[in-house]
A and B are shown apart, each in its own frame.
Chain A
Amino acid sequence: MSLKAFHIVFIIFSTLLAIGTSAWCVWVDLVEGAPIYLAGAIASFATAVALIIYGIWFYKKMKRLRIIT
């Protein structure tokens, strides 16, 4: 597996972590009712979206540059 492919795998796992963290923040917010966790949930979800956009951009860029090893 090349670095390019492993990087995409890593971004997928990071995205899943961001989504999981967002869900965890929502859960803690429901239990504790602290607004800071809601902010954490929004930030984590935004990170997940950013990672997805980055992953697509990276894949297209690598394909365009033909950096495949």
Chain B
Amino acid sequence: MEIPYTISTRPDTGLWNAKIGIWLFLASEVMLFGALFSAYIFLRIDAAPGTWPHGLLNVPVGTGNTAILIVSSVTVVLAWAALKMRRYRVYWWYMLATISCGVIFLTVKLAYEWPQKFEHFGAYIKPDALGKYEKYLGNERRAEKGMEPRIEITGHLHSQNAKEYEVALDPVNADPDNPVMDRPHFLPLPVTDKIATIEKEDVERATMFLPTHSAYFASYFTITGLHGLHVLGGVLVFIYMWLPVSKRLYQRNPEHLANRVEVSGLFWHFVDLIWIFVFPLFYLL
């Protein structure tokens, strides 16, 4: 059976089927991501002053990933334009470039950025034990300057037993009285050799940098994870359109393949546009 309006437009809507379908789908996606972004913004507004994590993500890596997604949007639209001009070979190369960009983005996210967080550790100190860890927190100087106290000690978990954690400290806790450490650092500072021993009875909550660490990381992993799933979906669709099976469709009806590339390109642009909001929200602000 021939499905109507895959190439020609419907007389009543002026659109072909897939075009209206993708826009309805993208409308639902706007609601999904809109809800998540709203939740993030309200969580952040509601956080007690000085408690919202800041400067924990690698800005240069995030910038690189943003550039990769922008390039992929350019290549996918050029792939579609090549199909419109009936230049299959050019389309094939542009599509390969788009797939490569998607794969690089996911690789950076899953093999570098996320694991870097998973190996980081944070221990929130109980309010009555903060003084005991003054040499790692530097709260006396901060109080003199009217700044909010530090309540967390972070670094790499060196070892632990039933009573204590041993943590290789981040620079912020290794040298807490250095005024430079009062500001977030957007270029990653390596963990120091200084080891701190933290008694478990003084710890309110201790966790790796996972969604359980804070509302910040819960939002970060939820939104970037969902976004990553969308990138994966887009890459799989592009791979299908890049394989020889699509060449057969091109030989039979090139406009049909061009329409398929256009709707998948619309989806890809939407996914990239989501990242355009994710990047400043999580990495910069």
Contact = CB atoms under 8 A, between A and B. Distances in A.
Interface in B157-198: 183, 186-187
A67 B262 CA distance: 12
Contact of B77 (A7, A14, A36): A7
B280 A17 contact: yes
A2 B84 CA distance: 13
Contacts of A20: 280, 284
Interface string B46-68: 00000000000000000100110
B152 interface: no
B265 interface: yes
Contacts of B269: 3, 6-7, 10
Given A20-B280, A65-B85, A10 B265 contact: no
A21 B266 contact: no
Given A3-B77, A10-B272, A65 B84 contact: yes
Interface string B245-285: 00000000000000000100110011011001001100010
B97 interface: no
A29 to B, nearest CB: 11
Interface in A27-51: 28, 31-32, 34, 36, 40, 47, 51
A31 B276 CA distance: 25
B229 interface: no
A13 B81 contact: no
Contacts of A13: 273, 276
A33 B179 CA distance: 13
A1 interface: yes
B36 interface: no
Interface residues of A, number: 30
Interface residues of B, number: 26
A26 B186 CA distance: 13
B33 interface: no
Nearest to A27: B284
Given A32-B183, A65-B84, A14 B284 contact: no
A69 B261 CA distance: 13
Contacts of A67: 81, 84-85
B70 interface: yes
Contact of A17 (B80, B186, B266, B279): B279
A31 B60 CA distance: 18
A69 B262 contact: yes
Given A21-B280, A65-B81, A7 B73 contact: yes
A14 B280 contact: no
Nearest to A44: B63
B276 A17 contact: yes
Interface of B: 23, 63, 66-67, 70, 73-74, 77, 80-81, 84-85, 183, 186-187, 262, 265-266, 269-270, 272-273, 276, 279-280, 284
In order of increasing CB-CB distance, the 6 nearest A-B pairs are A7-B77, A3-B262, A3-B265, A67-B84, A10-B269, A6-B269
Given A13-B273, A17-B66, A40-B63, 10 more contacts: A2-B262, A3-B77, A3-B265, A7-B73, A7-B269, A36-B187, A54-B74, A65-B84, A67-B85, A69-B262
